[in-house]
Structure 1
């Protein structure tokens, strides 16, 4: 890829491009020539070409893989694209692009300042003028890619939605179309030997030293990225110290005096299902030296309390769903929220992978260490705790496992169970485990609420102890009868219940209060300390398609 040069010599030619062939030259020989070495370029220009090739290839392949996860490209391309921590590599390549392009532009600026002023306008052939316009388009695409990528990384409110992702992908594909044109025009102007000359410049000895230095710098940058993540890019989440007597009461409200002392931090999450414009989440945090308290608020016009309801049909019972069989239910599901804590500031703590064991949208697993996950579910966490989980090493698949979750696992529980009311799931028909003791228990569930209708929904669940085992003799319910599929048996005990939680929905907003010891209560938890990376994800009545933000918050525990 050549560069756009605006400075000209007195003869009217660009210093970074050789003079176009004269009319007499083109009359004697074809411009599509293999013989005759083309004039070499300055070494920074050649270095830009050399570095752009691997950066472009790596950015394109990782970006296409991420686009499949966003549903912008067909999953059929999955096997031809890279796997693993693709998001990490895409971000690292973007940083390398910024360093290379700004380094080159800095050299151009210094060169122009140190050169004597020249007079006259360039005299270029028509092909050379078209080439200049082509280079302007190439540079515009590169600048647009960097700008749109920065917007997506920073999760800027109102700008980081699906439209920006589509723009970013479109610019990358446009660049792929412009570069072959660049090669063809270069061959027309300089011959095919101009391709080689673009990588081997004047002052080759100095070029070799710079190339070796940049290779060493790239290796050091990669090592630094892996060992010391760029936490300085994170937004601090300050945890204010409070006296124990001011500890908040967990009631799903922020009217306790202590929350007025905490400093709120807002983060824009994007790309979640049922929230095209994204979800802004506000977090507050305090501690009393032993226990950490969090208050999390986010807008949601609908309090979604329906989770995969059952309906009686002429052939038996069925699960009402629109994607649960592919682990992608986005309509008949309750609201959820997750907090993730990691020692690494890499995207998702380095847990997000594309791989042969994963689906097109990727899965969470760790090669080493763990990510502590606090998973709150509005319907299935009703007894004062949430579902304490973690991302660890990917587990082998188990026979009969309905859904492979790679490294996502719940922390161990000593007791407690919240279960689905069916024996085995089938998209067409299921056999319930239990039936209500009395038909009157189903009266509140006579009609399905509209998941998109603003307002509060009742919780579609039954107590295990108010039901009895299913038998065909007891199944006298008429066709069309609706029944909750969630059976609440007992609250969890043990490590899985180490995070206390209480939530409340009011006037189009969820408020979730959390409490956990600063010291990790189990082997699958992390100590809460300064420097810990924090992410938040919102599930708006969605099973797996949550909103996200790439740049983490960084926990700061004040003394």
Structure 2
């Protein structure tokens, strides 16, 4: 049973972090209070059976582990499953503890909860907590949002030293650059949904260079392949119809840059199926990226099939939610692409349907597809699942008769070898070896485009890895703040 419709939507991260800070303050106050004032005795609740007292006592370590694991997770530790288990445990504890009190004592339990018997010391402590609590929590919240981040040192190199964007990372400046290790999780297909990302950065006062290395057991290049069936050509998919493909997709990597260092990707992550009241609900239930205040956030989106051979990353941005457009099946809110003058890749179908589709083009020679048939059964064969527009011809039923059932064909077609214009501002190239991707990216510090964030000291970024997943990427909570050396 899905319960997502009952869950909160929108800026859930901000609420979660604030409530965690408040709960931590309350827990600390409770510990101090119990150390000074012993628990009262003689109440009727003390006559509760031993098994219920065990439930009560189990709540203390459960809450402690929930709070501690949350802060360690916030700091970058791999404790998401522990924290999740504690969250469900706390819900169960509240039901067993409070619910059974209500069943046994009814109104008396409610009165005892709302009108507790307070000693003079307890009353003074309560006044202090009520008076200072909100102030301390607010100060802690402001400090947490402004100061809590990782730091990535960006080494300065002379302009004369070339950095080749080839995915090798073999130039001497990379070897001397300081490495930042970022634990990311919550993605699809990675081991336990997580992978650690190694980051290095350089600049030469004109360009910014970023190198990322992350573990990925398989090089995934079969991007929504087409396979001939008895009904025609079909798109191989396992979630693409809901824009949440997690099997037949390419590997990807994303970098978000922003002047804002707030949590949840500079506050752009809004969770839920319909976080925007006046916009369509999303198909996958995961939420939208957009900016509430119109702030522009730069997004570099490298794709192992669609952009890697272009030696580019797709230069995109996140800003205010776009207007819904009639007839558009997918709404992306504030996530948009920079403009381009020419160049593109296209998907090789006239109109997508879950069943049979009609390709736009077929190979000039059926023998061109031989390498893809081997790849269907040989995991060591890694062809680039992309075709040239000029090596294919317009679709015709007559040409289609040359392909038997089971024939596989790429769905991505290049009609140019690269983008031209704003969308081509980010150079990028990656290589996969021995279970790791190594990606190099480069962009001018200041491009002059209104859709790009200028890079300078203090800019923050976030990184996400995709393992053959369309949107189910890994993530990290705290921003990475750039520290450009002179």
Q: TM-score normalized by structure 1?
A: 0.77
Q: Answer yes or no: is 1:348 the counterpart of 2:275.
A: no
Q: Is the 8 A contact 2:56 2:97 kept in 1?
A: no
Cα distance in 1 between the residues matched to 2:12 and 2:360: 42
Is residue 144–residue 171 contact of structure 1 (8 Å, CA) maintained in 2? no
Partner of 2:457: 530
Higher mean alpha-carbon deviation, 434-443 vs 413-422, is at 434-443
1:450 and 1:285 map into 2 onto residues whose CA distance is 39
Deviation digits for residues 100-126 of structure 1 (CA, Å, limit 9, x no counterpart): 2113323444x37xx9xxxxxx88986
The alpha-carbon deviation at position 220 of structure 1 amounts to 5.6
Indicate conservation of the 8 Å contact 1:152/1:164, yes or no.
Answer: no
Written as runs of structure 1 = structure 2, the 5 A alignment for 1:513-528 is: 513-528=440-455
The alpha-carbon deviation at position 154 of structure 1 amounts to: 2.9
Structure 2 stretches lacking a partner, 5+ long = none
Distance 1:152 1:210 in 2: 27
Q: What's 1:56 paired with?
A: none
Partner of 1:155: 76
Q: Give the distance between the partners of 2:117 and 2:223, measured in 1 at CA.
A: 60
How far apart are 1:403 and its partner, in Å?
A: 1.9
Shift of 1:230: 2.8
Which of 247, 264, 269 matches 2:162?
247
Deviation at 1:478, TM superposition (A): 2.3
Match of 1:103 in 2: 29
- In the TM superposition, what are the counterparts of 1:90-239 in structure 2 within 5 Å? 90-109=16-35, 111=36, 127=47, 130=50, 133-156=54-77, 159-161=78-80, 163-164=81-82, 166-181=84-99, 183-184=101-102, 187=105, 193-198=111-116, 202=120, 207-208=126-127, 210-218=129-137, 224=142, 230-239=145-154
Distance in 2, matches of 1:432 and 1:201, equals: 79
What is the RMSD computed on CA atoms of the aligned residues?
A: 2.8
Number of the residue aligned with 1:60: none
Match of 1:301 in 2: 217
In the TM superposition, residue 134 of structure 1 has moved relative to its aligned partner by 4.1
Asked whether 1:272 is paired with 2:187, we answer yes
Q: Quickly say closer, same or farther: Cα 1:206–1:474, change in 2 above 3 A.
A: closer
**Kept in 1: contact 2:375–2:382 (CA 8 A):** no
1:352–1:299: structure 2 CA closer, same or farther, 3 Å change rule? same
Instruction: Determine which of 418, 421, 425 is the counterpart of 1:498.
Output: 425
Asked if the contact 1:247–1:288 (Cα under 8 Å) also holds between the matched residues in 2, the reply is no
What does the per-residue CA deviation read over 1:377-421, in whole Å, with 9 as the maximum and x for residues that have no partner?
Answer: 010001111101111112222223232212111111111111100
Q: Deviations over 1:57-79 (max 9, x none)?
A: xxxxxxxxxxxxxxxxx43x333
Q: What is the distance in 2 between the residues matched to 1:445 and 1:188?
A: 69
Go from structure 1 to structure 2 and tell me whether the alpha carbon gap of 1:220 and 1:259 turns closer, same or farther (over 3 Å shift): closer
Calculate the TM-score normalised by the size of structure 2: 0.88
Larger radius of gyration: 1
The answer to whether the 8 A contact 1:302-1:508 is kept is yes
Question: SS at the partner of 1:260?
Answer: helix
Q: How big is each residue's C-alpha offset from its partner over 1:31-72, in whole Å with a ceiling of 9 and x where there is no partner?
A: xxxxxxxxxxxxxxxxxxxxxxxxxxxxxxxxxxxxxxxxxx
Q: Measured at CA, do residues 108 and 352 of structure 1 come closer, stay the same or move farther in structure 2, by a change above 3 Å?
A: same
Alignment deviations for residues 163-216 of structure 1 (CA, whole Å, 9 cap, x no partner): 335413322322322441474499589765322323876475874565244345
CA 1:320–1:207: 2 relative to 1, 3 Å = closer
Closer, same or farther: CA 95–199 of 1 in aligned 2, 3 Å: farther
Q: Which stretch has the larger CA shift, 408-417 or 207-216?
A: 207-216
Aligned length: 468
CA contact 2:261–2:481 (8 Å) conserved in 1: no
SS in 1 for 2:247: coil
Distance 1:193 1:145, change over 3 A: same
Quick check: 1:88 aligned with 2:8? no
